């Protein structure tokens, strides 16, 4: 049987200690998450306070990231943006992981017409370009944080369904599933006691990659004005505000761009470490 999720995470941590890139990803992601969580209690100022300094002021010792077009300090706004982008992406993807994994396992166990319908619906969603589908959803629901989370959910849902269904198909061919059915175990027990532990590793790996997709979708929607609304800041909205003044105040763009790049890079490195820890032979073959 495949390892449970806690053992998979423990193996990933041991693997990260041996691989400098994976260790760097774990450290960077941990720092960003801690910064986003502790941001409201750090003595860095109010992210929405206007006229902290001159408009479009250059970075100084007092204002390390400078100010924006309203004189707000960019440092607390970047910290707030880290929190908002991570929370929106992680919350939406976590809910989607639960729903998509359940749908994928039920489709495999039920088989027949149910499996066919699930596969075709996932293919329909997957056929839409991610950003186009996200824009369509926010156009229907309107701009805001909740519509952005719904867009992330619809974009990442087919990814979970297809991956978990594929893993569950292999797991159902093993003897212990047949033995559980013969012994009279209920469908719920087979799905959540016997099948779920064997797909938990794939869920964890897909979850990390989906979070990076979610951050990209949220940032793109906020950049277009369809995601997080002012005065709240996200990494995408900071990029939208900064690109207007990129020629005269490039410091408005660089912090958010670097943080977004580092966040996506760290999440993918952690996902690689988790994948290689779960399937070391596959990981070595891909190098």
Note the pLDDT tens digit of each residue in 88-119: 999 999 999 999 999 988 888 888 898 899 99
Q: Which residue would you say has higher pLDDT here, 211 or 204?
A: 211
Where exactly are the structural domains of the chain? 5-285
215/36 Cα distance (integer angstroms)? 14
CB 260 within 8 A of CB 215: yes
Task: Locate all alpha helices (DSSP H) within the chain, ordered by sequence.
Answer: 5-18, 20-38, 74-110, 112-127, 130-141, 145-171, 175-182, 187-189, 196-223, 235-243, 254-278, 280-285
278/15 Cα distance (integer angstroms)? 10
Q: Which residue would you say has higher pLDDT here, 222 or 201?
A: 222
Q: Which residue would you say has higher pLDDT here, 84 or 1?
A: 84
Residue 197 has what pLDDT?
79
Q: Percent of the chain having pLDDT more than 70? A: 86
* Contact residues for 148 (Cβ-Cβ < 8 A; gap 6+): 88, 92, 134, 138, 217, 218, 221, 222, 226, 227, 228
pTM of the model: 0.85
Superfamily covering domain 5-285: MetI-like (1.10.3720.10)
Lowest mean pLDDT among 94-103, 121-130, 249-258, 270-279: 270-279
């Amino acid at each position: 049987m495949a390892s449970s999720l806690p053992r998979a995470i423990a193996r990933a941590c041991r693997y990260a200690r041996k691989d400098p890139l994976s260790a760097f990803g774990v450290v960077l992601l941990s720092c960003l998450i801690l910064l986003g969580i502790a941001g409201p209690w750090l003595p860095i100022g109010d992210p929405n306070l206007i006229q902290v300094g001159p408009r479009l002021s250059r970075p100084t010792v007092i204002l390390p990231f400078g100010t924006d077009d309203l004189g707000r300090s960019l440092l607390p706004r970047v910290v707030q943006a880290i929190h908002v982008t991570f929370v929106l992406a992680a919350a939406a993807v976590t809910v989607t992981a639960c729903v998509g994994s359940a749908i994928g396992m039920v489709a495999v166990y039920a088989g027949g017409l149910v499996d066919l319908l699930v596969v075709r619906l996932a293919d329909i969603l997957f056929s839409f370009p991610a950003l186009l589908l996200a824009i369509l959803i926010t156009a229907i629901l309107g701009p805001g944080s909740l519509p952005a989370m719904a867009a992330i959910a619809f974009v990442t849902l087919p990814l979970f369904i297809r991956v978990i269904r594929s893993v569950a198909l292999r797991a159902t061919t093993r003897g212990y599933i047949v033995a559980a059915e013969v012994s009279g175990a209920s469908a719920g027990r087979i799905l959540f006691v016997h099948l779920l532990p064997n797909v938990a590793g794939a869920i964890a790996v897909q979850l990390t990659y989906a979070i990076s997709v979610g951050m990209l979708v949220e940032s793109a929607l906020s950049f277009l004005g369809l995601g997080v609304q002012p005065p709240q800041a996200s990494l995408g909205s900071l990029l939208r505000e900064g690109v207007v003044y990129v020629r005269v105040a490039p410091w408005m763009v660089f912090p958010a761009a670097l943080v977004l790049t580092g966040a996506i890079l760290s999440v993918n490195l952690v996902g690689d470490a988790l994948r290689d820890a779960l399937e070391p032979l596959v990981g070595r073959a891909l190098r």
